[in-house]
Structure 1
Amino acid sequence: MELRQLKYFVGVAEAGSFTKAAAQLHVAQSALSLHVRQMEEGFGTQLLVRERTGVKLTSAGAKLLHHAQIILDQVSIAEQELTSKVKSPAGEVTIGVPSGAARVVVTELLTRAKEKLPRVSLKIVEGMSGPIEEWMAAGRFNLAILYKTGDSLSGSTVLAKEEFCLVVPPNEPPFDDVIPLSELFSYPLAVPMRSNNVRRSVADVVAQHGCALNVRFEVDSLSTIISMVTEGKAYSILTPSAIQHEVSLGQLRIVRIVDPVITRSVVLAVNPKDEKSFEVAAVRALIPEVVNYLAKVGKWPTIVAEADQNAS
């Protein structure tokens, strides 16, 4: 028994005539007769009594009509709910965001989500990049913005690339616009713990080039690191996105690191169990749009937008 057959049977029963039902359903009368006859053969009982003026239900036909109407109503409800879910996603989406990216992207993301996805509730969890990676791996988030190096991008959508810079207090003696990697050892640093992506990314490049860092403080708090540099207690190595507010106020300065330049990718990862979620897919599509906008208007400095490209 097919849904189409149920629909045809209900049409004939409610119309009381094959002729009327054929006109209402836009189906040939012979086709309706064939489907009803197949149903009767399948059930092994007569469903309709054919009369000169139309048709009447048998007792078996009346029972089938009752069940068929319920079944077709439920199918219609399911179709409406699923169609509505696609057109207007609804639900809760939890996103893990490292502190540096959160300072740039969260406000714009929430603003756009409120406008474009009014039925989706966003929950943002901010933290240092190490814990965010661990929590995402443990399945605590639907989506996460992560920092990755060039050899670890599999399965992620690349949002952007950033360069690391030396962050210095505003009242320091004049710096050039750039500083060679080999000269970083001259500056006492306040940097995140070793599990942090910033620390790992920089340390790997430094080690490859036979250089060293003068790490004086290990602090897993972006705000504390920024305060230490602002107060002249240390230097740091960060990306401009993490400190653009302080730079715009003249509270910090940035000096590009060169020979070589140290970069990282900003990527968007999705929890495998949420790949088919309508609401997660909607937010997943919105985030690259937000990142592209921020890069275009200069709110995410020194960023190279690569939205909508899948990492290989």
Structure 2
Amino acid sequence: MINTKWLHTFCALVDVGSFTQAAKQLYMTQSGVSQHINKLEQYLGQPLIVRKGKGFTLTDSGERLNLEARVILKDLQMLESSVTSDHAFEGEVRIMSPGSIGLKLYPFFLNIQTQHPKLIVDYRFAPNYEIDRAVVENKIDAGFITQTSNLCDVVSTEVGQEELLLVTPKNVEKPTWSQLHDLGFIGHPDVAHYTGLLLGANYPEFQHIDKFTKHGFSNQVSLLLEPVSLGLGFTVLPAHAVESYPKQELIKIHQLPNRISETIYVVEHRDKARSKRADTLLSAAISMLQSCQRCQQLMQQHQVRTSAITV
């Protein structure tokens, strides 16, 4: 492989037309410049210059090399610039999360991208275990998950909370145990986990979601509340998924006495430094999630005070 230092010396020599001036420009000795040219000629097996006194002329091989070498050196310079550049508002950022968090974060990230069009958001929806694996395999820059990672190469950082909510058709004011049984449930991949957490903490009769009649199932989080809005059953979902549903007037959201939340974590590779562009999106997202959590806490405090005044 050709030594790029030899090429750089050769092009500099051609530019200034003098070994003395090339040596000064490159902070080398004249013998050093001559040595680079000789090594280049030996490597290629072709004479590149014809010396004439203190000057020189290029051979045909030298002319061709002069043209090609400049293209190579320019490409290498661009490659180095591309690899070493780390702009806060340029480049691609690859992020994954479960569906509910994604319904909150993806539109938020797109809003940032409209302000900084050179940012590219690659957002994928996936379950927690797939996100962990993608971090380890360096397929993404970061992920948002709802449980700490148990993989040694993954670092988990708590960044917020997301409340679980019971959602029923709009005509259900205060869902009793018998009403829930009559309604039946709309299933999704995490329904057993969510109902176990929320219903188990609020209804002593609760044993398992399978004790209810199943009236539907969907693995598309954005469509899960469609059957609920039609009166076909109830479900339990994280708050961001519920908030994103466009037909709020057709459903009833219930915050039960014993409120249950899932912790949201950012997961990143332990040995990979966060780029500036990734930090732009992640820092903004973390700030937004924490702001949402503070608003929820203030609302809860207000509801407690209002209840105490009423009593």
CA deviation digits over 1:161-200, x for unaligned, max 9?
323233345554458xxxxxxx97983452434xx24534
Q: 2:79 & 2:40 partners in 1: Cα distance? A: 32
Residues paired across the two proteins, number: 273
Is the 8 Å Cα contact of residues 95 and 143 (structure 1) preserved in structure 2? yes
Query: Where does residue 306 of structure 2 map in the other structure?
Result: none
CA deviation digits over 1:102-137, x for unaligned, max 9?
4322222112123324363x56566xx55x966997
Query: Where does residue 241 of structure 1 map in the other structure?
Result: 240
Counterparts in 2 of 1:1-312, with a 5 A limit? Answer: 2-23=3-24, 25-28=25-28, 31-37=29-35, 39-40=37-38, 43-44=41-42, 48=49, 52=53, 54-57=54-57, 59=59, 63-64=61-62, 66-80=64-78, 83-84=81-82, 86=85, 87=87, 89=90, 98-118=98-118, 120=120, 122=121, 147-150=145-148, 152=150, 155=154, 158=157, 160-169=160-169, 171-174=171-174, 187-188=180-181, 190-193=185-188, 196-200=189-193, 203=196, 212-214=207-209, 215-217=212-214, 218-220=216-218, 221-222=220-221, 225-230=224-229, 233-244=232-243, 251-256=251-256, 258=258, 261=260, 263-265=262-264, 267=266, 284-298=278-292
Q: 2:78 & 2:71 partners in 1: Cα distance? A: 11
Q: 1:42 & 1:118 partners in 2: Cα distance? A: 41
How far did residue 241 of structure 1 move?
Answer: 1.4
Q: 1:123 & 1:298 partners in 2: Cα distance? A: 24
Q: Does the C-alpha gap of structure 1 residues 185 and 34 become closer, same or farther in structure 2, counting only changes over 3 Å?
A: farther
How far did residue 213 of structure 1 move?
Answer: 3.1
Q: CA RMSD in A?
A: 4.9
Q: What's the TM-score, normalizing by structure 1?
A: 0.61
Q: 1:172 & 1:46 partners in 2: Cα distance? A: 91
Q: 2:94 & 2:148 partners in 1: Cα distance? A: 26
How far did residue 239 of structure 1 move?
Answer: 1.5
Is the 8 Å Cα contact of residues 20 and 30 (structure 2) preserved in structure 1? no
Is the 8 Å Cα contact of residues 240 and 254 (structure 1) preserved in structure 2? no
Q: Does the C-alpha gap of structure 1 residues 96 and 90 become closer, same or farther in structure 2, counting only changes over 3 Å?
A: same
Q: 2:36 & 2:75 partners in 1: Cα distance? A: 27
Q: 2:77 & 2:193 partners in 1: Cα distance? A: 49
**Structure 2: 5+ residue runs without aligned partners?**
298-311
**Structure 1: 5+ residue runs without aligned partners?**
176-182, 304-312
SS in 1 for 2:255: strand
